[in-house]
Amino acid sequence: MNRIHLLLLTVALSLVFAASGAFAQDNLKNQLFGDLNALIAQAKEKKADLIAPNSFAKGMEYYNEATAVFARQGRLEDIQEKVKSAQIYIAKSLDQCKIAEVGLSAAMAARTDATSAGAPNYSADLWNKAEDQFNRAARALEDGSLDDAKRKASDAESIYRSAELEAIKSNYLSPARTLMKQAEEIGAKDNAPKTYARAQTLAAQVEALLKQNRYDTDEARHLAQESKYEAAHAIYLHKTILSMKQSDKTYEDAILDAEASLQSAAGAAGLVARFDEGYRPTVAAITAAIKERDAKIKDNAGALTDAAEAVHGKESEIDNLKQRVASMENRVGSLTENERQLKEAGTELQHKLNTQHEQEETIHQVGLMFTDDEGNVLRDGNNIIIRLYGLSFPVGKNIIEPQYYTLLTKVQEAIKKFPRCSIMIEGHTDSQGSDEANQTLSESRAKATAEYLMANMGVEIPINSQGYGESRPVASNDTPEGRAKNRRIDIVITPAGARQGK
């Protein structure tokens, strides 16, 4: 900076401090600190405070001193000197970050994974130990000891991975372990030993699965949920048995209570339960009634096809109506008011039927676009639902991976077949995990899908999103196949005419 420029800045600073206008002072501060602020932001983005703590801290020390001098209206030369020193150290920290991309990258990746798993909360001791070792590696790197930094970073990576695994175990098994501890404290092992042992066995299987592959967590999550259930089941059995003993109830009383519950279920299915041959005949009858009901529901799904065929049948009636109107026009030469209204009614009916026919044909064509593994197309009143079973996300995340771009391109093409429609993206999960976590995850996945579609459609169509967590299952959560169907994205299309209430 030449003397003339320095003189101008000095005069400007004097004017700022003499005036009360905040705008002029902010403008000068931006001139003095703008480049440095940008450099600091870049360093924070690269995690320089973690990778090069000494250089970054020294740079921030000079930065804070410079802002303090500015605040008390100090000499411009002092501010510029401290800003320059801060820039040197922050730039040095960024250089260290580039070197760390080789020496510390594996440890940084392990640290990120451990953070995502909640290691600071669920595995605090291992996390703190890993952080300490990583800081040692970072300081060794700053001192120029690359080999020493790599060794310490390798140790930190190993500890981070252990902390990550411990956090995953704790996160999955914490509810089950809490209930097992409660069961042990109240003596549930005495009255429900088999159920309690089952909870322990399932928990051990979860630990073994996570140790083999901590990132393939579907089966582990399911077993953890089962372990939690069995622990709660043992507590219930223990309390029930204690209550029976205290009330002097007999085995007959217990059997009659169970029969009463089955009788209630049978009544809901329109059956009368009899137990002279045990539970199994009644259970079989209830199961058959449920299957019959499901079959009727499936048959009703064919109503859409029947409606489409009915539309085709109406076309001949419209042709006859046209011929009658044409004949009347030829005979009379001009239409009476009633005849004109008849023609208009016929035209309107024709238009409606044509529109309905076209829409049914469009829905049929959209259904053919998707394989059974990708999803299916349903009709819900005026809405069309594309139920995407084939769109999967990484566990606990809302990232759309490249292998699903083709499937979403099909969705985009399907949406374009309904001009001026509105779209609602609905996210759903299975029952694994907490209600709150599932709700949050379903919302974020629905939003991510909506944003992807809007960004790639090429046309402006209103797309909203909503998460429903585990509240709207379409299959049983007791089987892997059912849970896979419940983890889905529904594309709900409302055609323009339906949206306007036509």
Banded pLDDT at 212 (limits 50, 70, 90): confident
pLDDT higher than 90, residue 235: yes
Banded pLDDT at 466 (limits 50, 70, 90): very high
C-alpha torsion sign, points 200, 202, 205, 209? negative
**Coil, helix or strand at residue 376:** strand
Q: How far is CA 107 from the centre of its chain?
A: 27
CATH topology of domain 370-499: 60s Ribosomal Protein L30; Chain: A; (3.30.1330)
The confidence score (pLDDT) of residue 113 equals 85
pLDDT higher than 70, residue 5: no
Banded pLDDT at 173 (limits 50, 70, 90): confident
Instruction: Quote the CA–CA distance of 129 and 136 in Å, as a whole number.
Output: 11
Query: For residue 199, what are the contacts with CB-CB under 8 A and spacing of at least 6?
Result: 176, 179, 180, 183, 227, 228, 230, 231, 233, 234
Which range (63-67, 178-182, 262-266) has the least confidence?
262-266
Contact 275, 259 (CB under 8 A): yes
The confidence score (pLDDT) of residue 325 equals 63
Contact 13, 28 (CB under 8 A): yes
Banded pLDDT at 330 (limits 50, 70, 90): low
Banded pLDDT at 336 (limits 50, 70, 90): low
- pLDDT single digits (tens) 483-502: 888 899 999 999 877 654 44
Banded pLDDT at 4 (limits 50, 70, 90): low
Banded pLDDT at 239 (limits 50, 70, 90): very high
Instruction: Give the torsion through C-alpha atoms of 362, 363, 364, 370, to 10 deg.
Output: 110
Exposed/middle/buried for 314, CB within 10 Å: 0-12, 13-18, 19+? middle
Report which DSSP code applies to 374: T
The pLDDT mean for the chain works out to 82
The confidence score (pLDDT) of residue 441 equals 92
* Amino acid, res. 438: N
Question: Best-predicted range by mean pLDDT among 18-27, 265-274, 408-417?
Answer: 408-417
What pTM value is reported for the model? 0.44
The confidence score (pLDDT) of residue 501 equals 46
Banded pLDDT at 232 (limits 50, 70, 90): very high
Q: How many Cα atoms within 13 Å fall on the side-chain side of residue 143?
A: 11
Token readout for 97 is 């970050």
Helix, strand, coil abundance in the chain, percent, nearest 5: 75, 5, 20
Token readout for 114 is 């451990």
Considering just the CA atoms, what is the radius of gyration of the chain in Å?
35
| Alpha-carbon distances of 375 from 48, 389, 476, 484, 496, rounded to whole Å | 46, 5, 17, 12, 24
The confidence score (pLDDT) of residue 252 equals 85
Mean pLDDT of 395-420: 88
Instruction: Quote the CA–CA distance of 226 and 198 in Å, as a whole number.
Output: 9
Contact 410, 457 (CB under 8 A): no
Q: How far is CA 276 from the centre of its chain?
A: 50
**Coil, helix or strand at residue 125:** helix
Contact 438, 448 (CB under 8 A): no
Within 10 A of 386 (CB to CB), how many other CB atoms are there? Answer: 23
Could you give the percent of the chain with pLDDT greater than 90?
A: 17
Token readout for 252 is 């007959």
Instruction: Quote the CA–CA distance of 23 and 384 in Å, as a whole number.
Output: 56
Size of the chain, expressed as the number of residues it contains:
502
Please name which of 436, 435, 408 lies closest in space to residue 423, comparing C-alpha atoms. Answer: 408
Q: Decide which of 251 and 469 is more confident.
A: 469
Report which DSSP code applies to 277: T
Beta bridge partners of 489: 388, 427
Please name which of 88, 44, 50, 97 lies closest in space to residue 66, comparing C-alpha atoms. Answer: 88
């800081």: which residue's tokens? 135
Mean pLDDT of 110-125: 86
Q: Decide which of 86 and 341 is more confident.
A: 86
Please name which of 101, 131, 102 lies closest in space to residue 114, comparing C-alpha atoms. Answer: 131
The confidence score (pLDDT) of residue 40 equals 92
Query: For residue 238, what are the contacts with CB-CB under 8 A and spacing of at least 6?
Result: 183, 186, 187, 188, 190, 191, 192
